Amino acid sequence: MEHPLRIARSAAKRSVEDVALEAGVTKSTISRVETWMSDPSVSLIRTLCVMFPSLTPNDFIIVAERSEHT
Whole-number average pLDDT of the chain = 91
Tell me whether residue 32 is exposed, middle or buried, using C-beta atoms within 10 angstroms of its C-beta: 0 to 12, 13 to 18, 19 or more: middle
Binning the chain into helix, strand and coil, the percentages to the nearest 5 are 55, 0, 45
How far is the C-alpha of 32 from the C-alpha of 9, rounded, in Å? Answer: 14
Q: How does pLDDT run across 26-53, given as a tens digit for each residue? A: 999 999 999 999 999 999 999 999 999 9
Higher pLDDT, 63 or 58: 58
What is the pTM (predicted TM-score) of this model?
0.86
- Over residues 9-36, the mean pLDDT reads 97
Class of domain 4-60: mainly alpha
The pLDDT value recorded for residue 69 is: 52
